[in-house]
Amino acid sequence: MIDILIVDDQRVIREGIRALLEPESDLHVVGEASNGRVAIEQIEALRPDVALIDIQMPEMDGISATQIITQRFAETKVLVLSGHDSEEHLAKALEAGAKGYILKDIAAAELSNAIRTVHRGYAKSGLGLTENLAQTNAIKALILDRVPSELPALVSDSLALINQELAELRNRLDRYSVNLDTLTKAQEQFERNNGLKGLEEKLKVFRSEWAREKQAILTALNEQEIKFKTEQMVLRDELSHWLSRNMQQEIEAMQTRLTVALWLVFLVLGISAILSAFKH
């Protein structure tokens, strides 16, 4: 994901650029600024990968802001998005440290590709800014500072040859950019597919663990059920024995009470008979 800061003094321009970049899944607008001073504050807070900066703005222009940003925040690449098709502005932007210079009338797809190209560390210039000598030399100097040392050996006899070599190099870089974007998307798709495979493996492991856990729970429930039935039988037997003992004791007590009562009755009848005999 490439984090982007949009810097332009016109709100409608900022909103338009945001709308153009939103459909791109790998581009994310993290903030906006209306001038160079605010842009520096935003970069310090948000640390975006690419700052898309206009040139003419109040308080601090884009060239001054670019120079400060490239000195203080090397990880943030500056891409100038200007309405001026001017070699003077191009030269100043590149001297300030900008990685690229494109025009505001650029197509949405070209804008997205320019951001990706600059993010990878390559120089990018818009169409219409490479036709004259001064602009070509400025781009040549920028590229010579940022590509392997073998390139200066190619700069030889004539300006025509230099222009031809630089044009071929730009075309190669553009083709490489397209191929790299394709490979990046393929890699992302591959990683997503591998993520799905990993999820399937995790689901298989989870199902296996759940099956084992379920079996363990069922086994524990069966054991508890058997234990409950056993304890129930023991309690039933103990209750039966207790009832039997208590009933036997009650019967013996009743027999004892009945015997005592009979003896009392016999005693009372005997006494009554004796008293009756004395009276007669």
Show the 3-state SS of 131-168: CCHHHHHHHHHHHHHHCCCCHHHHCCCCHHHHHHHHHH
pLDDT of 21 higher than 80:
yes
Sequence-ordered alpha helix ranges (H) in the chain: 11-21, 36-46, 62-72, 87-96, 108-119, 133-146, 159-279
* Structural contact between residues 43 and 68, judged by C-beta atoms closer than 8 angstroms: no
Q: Position of tokens 């524990």?
A: 220
**Tokens of residue 48, six digits:** 């975006």
pLDDT at 127: 46
* Residue keyed to tokens 């990878």: 120
pLDDT at 247: 73
- SS3 sequence, 204-247? HHHHHHHHHHHHHHHHHHHHHHHHHHHHHHHHHHHHHHHHHHHH
Instruction: Say whether pLDDT at 42 is over 80.
Output: yes
**In Å, how far from its chain's centre is CA 21?**
21
Contact 96, 62 (CB under 8 A): no
* CA dist 20 → 7, 204, 241 (Å): 15, 42, 91
- Type of residue found at 190: F
pLDDT higher than threshold 60 for residue 143: no
Place 11 in a pLDDT band, splitting at 50, 70 and 90. Answer: very high
Q: Tens digits of per-residue pLDDT, 202-219?
A: 767 777 887 888 788 778
Going along the chain from its start, the domains and CATH numbers come out as: 2-127 (3.40.50.2300)
Banded pLDDT at 108 (limits 50, 70, 90): confident
Task: Give the pLDDT of residue 255.
Answer: 79
Query: Please, which pLDDT band fits residue 199 given cuts at 50, 70 and 90?
Result: low
Helix (H, G, I), strand (E, B) or coil at 128: coil
In angstroms, rounded to a whole number, what is the distance separating the alpha carbons of residues 16 and 4?
14
